[in-house]
């Protein structure tokens, strides 16, 4: 058997934690090998070792049967290894071509030869069906397109071993389908792929084999075609997982959130949300369904105060908050689990315990006579860490930047749900979370509803919208295009409304 990569008995220690504990994973040439595990199980660490970002404490790496030492990403590139990171490594103000050639710029007469590089990139783009404009600026293209740029970056560097770290965490359902097709094309071209993901249905769709890690230890490798998603989930979390969301009937009360004829501009200066009316009552979960880019971001940013409103009104518990500050909205009973955890959810260079009290750092009991009360902060952080199973090397004293993406997400959810606000804006809550964590977070969101709180859920996971919501509002082209009870619809009907094939009215 020829292996493209062999990671043999890899151990990696960080201060306070063993991230990988004697792990062995072998990638067969020309295959897709999935790496599955809970948040913080050591998957990204293992792949970062293969890409030269970390050095193993012990263990051996073989590439195409030969033992190698990978000191940095340049060594990995020389060996034909490329990596698409969970959080993309792109320069936003550069073009696609400038990002791809960065560090290995072709020159002509002593000048960077953008034209020939762009031509080569265009050829790759066509060959793999990526459809990327080499002259587009990164800041002007979608997240899905940015990911394609990362893939082109690997192909431009002649990588044959491709690592994808949570590649679908930020993609829409259609972009996920496109990516799966791209991966299969890459395999046909002779590439070998290591895929880190929590999404069991994606593993079933594209992977040949799957290795499971749990708390840094190797659990086993299975043939994907012969193994059910339930079996893989149990290997991952060490117990039976309930995929069905259990919830009783809702009992809606007073209107907590209301928007009236809301118009909000997008980043390009045109209306992204148009004449939008919505109400969310206490004791109900209202889901927003829609293909990404149809007004969801403008709605959430307007409600949370991240962007100003062009016209219309936002009322929280009957009070007009259209022009109040973000801080004021939080004080009046709003909570927000944002879509972008790095930009709007956390201060990455703060410790975990500091991020937990970011809304109340200057108030009792965390602050007394302008002095931070460390013992109170510590006790509160320990409580949230245990309750929400937030894993990190140094616990509450961990730098938030050093934590895995999934555990960063759990930290935000813990902070916002524990505050139990009257209105909870929940955007992509389970992005990057494993099935065990998703099960727990769904229970907590429903518990908030049952405690009489109003929840507005925005998710691109249609199953999540259908499972959690009591009522669903569909956004299409910035307009409300239908409203229905979740129990009276299904994914096919929602898909028709989301694509604009079926029309609903504002007054449904």
Integer angstrom CA distances of residue 67 from 7, 70, 159: 10, 10, 18
Structure tokens that stand for 204 in this block? 């079933």
Taking the C-alpha atoms of residue 431 and residue 447, their distance in angstroms, rounded to an integer, is: 20
What pLDDT, on a 0 to 100 scale, did the predictor assign at position 470? 96
Q: Nearest Cα to 196, choosing from 65, 50, 359, 76? A: 50
> If you search the block for the tokens 């956390």, which residue do you land on?
346
Please state the rounded mean pLDDT for residues 376-384: 94
Coil, helix or strand for 505?
coil
Report pLDDT digits (tens) over 198-226: 788 889 999 999 999 998 999 999 999 99
Report pLDDT digits (tens) over 261-280: 999 998 888 999 999 999 99
Whether residue 117 has pLDDT greater than 90 = no
pLDDT band, very low/low/confident/very high, at 435 (cuts 50, 70, 90)? confident
Taking the C-alpha atoms of residue 460 and residue 294, their distance in angstroms, rounded to an integer, is: 11
Taking the C-alpha atoms of residue 353 and residue 397, their distance in angstroms, rounded to an integer, is: 7
Two domains, one topology: 3-237 and 242-333+421-508: yes
For the chain, which residues make up each domain, given as ranges? 3-237, 242-333+421-508, 346-417
CB of 264 closer than 8 Å to CB of 298: yes
Question: Parallel, antiparallel, or unpaired: how do β-strands 81-84 and 66-68 relate?
Answer: unpaired
Taking the C-alpha atoms of residue 9 and residue 32, their distance in angstroms, rounded to an integer, is: 21
For residue 289, how many other CB atoms are within 10 A of its CB? 31
Q: What percent of the chain has pLDDT over 70?
A: 99
Coil, helix or strand for 243?
coil
Q: Nearest Cα to 45, choosing from 213, 158, 205? A: 213
What pLDDT, on a 0 to 100 scale, did the predictor assign at position 507? 46
pLDDT band, very low/low/confident/very high, at 292 (cuts 50, 70, 90)? confident
Q: Nearest Cα to 76, choosing from 111, 49, 43? A: 49
Between 147 and 400, the higher pLDDT residue: 400
Evaluate the omega torsion of the peptide bond into residue 365 and state whether it is cis, within 30 degrees of 0: yes
Q: Nearest Cα to 422, choosing from 454, 397, 390? A: 454
Integer angstrom CA distances of residue 257 from 175, 266, 340, 422, 449: 32, 22, 23, 9, 14
Q: Does domain 3-237 correspond to CATH entry 3.40.50.2300?
A: no
Taking the C-alpha atoms of residue 405 and residue 86, their distance in angstroms, rounded to an integer, is: 8
What pLDDT, on a 0 to 100 scale, did the predictor assign at position 115? 86
For residue 270, how many other CB atoms are within 10 A of its CB? 8
Structure tokens that stand for 376 in this block? 């109170």
* DSSP per residue, 462-488: HHHHHHH-SEEEEEETTEEEEEEEGGG
What pLDDT, on a 0 to 100 scale, did the predictor assign at position 84? 86
Instruction: List for the chain the helix, strand, coil content (%; round to 5).
Output: 35, 30, 35
For residue 125, how many other CB atoms are within 10 A of its CB? 20
Whether residue 169 has pLDDT greater than 90 = no
Taking the C-alpha atoms of residue 24 and residue 20, their distance in angstroms, rounded to an integer, is: 10
Starting at the edge strand that comes first in sequence, how are the strands of the sheet with 319-320 ordered?
Answer: 271-281, 255-265, 311-316, 319-320
Q: Nearest Cα to 43, choosing from 26, 72, 19, 59? A: 19
CB of 266 closer than 8 Å to CB of 296: no
Please state the rounded mean pLDDT for residues 408-431: 92
CB of 96 closer than 8 Å to CB of 136: yes
What pLDDT, on a 0 to 100 scale, did the predictor assign at position 298? 95
pLDDT band, very low/low/confident/very high, at 433 (cuts 50, 70, 90)? confident
- Is the pTM higher than 0.85? The answer reads no
Taking the C-alpha atoms of residue 71 and residue 54, their distance in angstroms, rounded to an integer, is: 8
Taking the C-alpha atoms of residue 47 and residue 76, their distance in angstroms, rounded to an integer, is: 11
What pLDDT, on a 0 to 100 scale, did the predictor assign at position 508? 45
Q: Right CATH number for 242-333+421-508 from 3.40.605.10, 3.40.50.720, 3.30.420.40, 3.40.50.300?
A: 3.40.50.300
pLDDT band, very low/low/confident/very high, at 505 (cuts 50, 70, 90)? low
pLDDT band, very low/low/confident/very high, at 430 (cuts 50, 70, 90)? confident
Please state the rounded mean pLDDT for residues 468-480: 95
């Amino acid at each position: 058997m020829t292996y493209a990569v062999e990671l043999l008995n890899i151990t990696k220690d960080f201060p306070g934690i063993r991230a990988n504990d004697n792990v062995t994973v072998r990638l067969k040439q020309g295959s897709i090998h999935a790496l599955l595990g809970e948040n913080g199980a050591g998957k990204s660490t293992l792949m970062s070792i293969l890409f030269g970002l970390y050095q193993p404490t012990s263990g051996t790496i073989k590439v195409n049967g030969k033992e190698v030492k990978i000191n940095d990403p340049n060594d990995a590139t020389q060996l034909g290894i490329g990596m698409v990171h969970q959080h993309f490594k792109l320069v936003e103000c550069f073009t696609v071509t400038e990002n791809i050639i960065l560090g290995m710029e072709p020159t002509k007469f002593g000048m960077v030869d953008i034209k020939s590089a762009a031509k080569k990139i265009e050829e790759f783009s066509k060959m793999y069906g990526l459809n990327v404009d080499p002259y587009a600026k990164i800041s002007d293209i979608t997240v899905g397109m940015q990911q394609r740029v990362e893939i082109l970056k690997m192909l431009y560097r002649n990588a044959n071993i491709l690592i994808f770290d949570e590649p679908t965490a930020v993609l829409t359902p259609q972009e996920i389908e496109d990516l799966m097709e791209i991966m299969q094309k890459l395999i046909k071209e002779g590439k070998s792929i290591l895929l880190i993901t929590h999404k069991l249905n994606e593993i079933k769709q594209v992977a040949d084999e799957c290795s499971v890690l749990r708390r840094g230890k190797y659990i086993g490798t299975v043939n994907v075609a012969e193994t059910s998603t339930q079996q893989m989930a149990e290997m991952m979390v060490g117990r039976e997982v309930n995929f069905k969301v259990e919830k009783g009937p809702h009992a809606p009360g007073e209107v907590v959130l209301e928007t009236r004829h809301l118009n909000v501009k997008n980043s390009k200066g045109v209306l992204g949300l148009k004449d939008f009316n919505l109400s969310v009552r206490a004791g109900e979960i209202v889901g927003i369904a829609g293909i990404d880019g149809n007004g969801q971001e403008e709605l959430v940013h307007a409600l949370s105060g991240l962007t100003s409103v062009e016209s219309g009104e936002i009322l929280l518990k009957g009070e007009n908050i259209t022009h109040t500050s973000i801080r004021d909205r939080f004080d009046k009973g709003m909570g927000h689990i944002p879509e972008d955890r790095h930009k709007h959810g956390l201060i990455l260079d703060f410790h975990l315990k500091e991020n937990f009290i970011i809304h109340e750092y200057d108030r009792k009991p965390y602050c007394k006579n302008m002095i931070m009360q460390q013992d109170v902060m510590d006790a509160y952080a320990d409580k949230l860490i245990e309750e929400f199973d937030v894993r990190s090397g140094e616990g509450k004293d961990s730098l938030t930047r050093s934590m895995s993406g999934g555990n960063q997400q759990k930290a935000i959810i813990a902070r916002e749900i524990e505050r139990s606000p009257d209105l909870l804006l929940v955007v992509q809550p389970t992005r990057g979370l494993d099935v065990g964590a998703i099960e727990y977070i769904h229970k907590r969101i429903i518990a908030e509803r049952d405690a009489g709180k109003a929840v507005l859920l925005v998710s691109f996971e249609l199953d999540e919208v259908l499972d959690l919501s009591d009522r669903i509002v569909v956004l299409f082209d910035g307009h409300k295009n239908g409203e229905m009870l979740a129990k009276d619809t299904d994914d096919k009907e929602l898909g028709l409304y989301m694509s604009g094939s079926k029309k609903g009215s504002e007054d449904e």
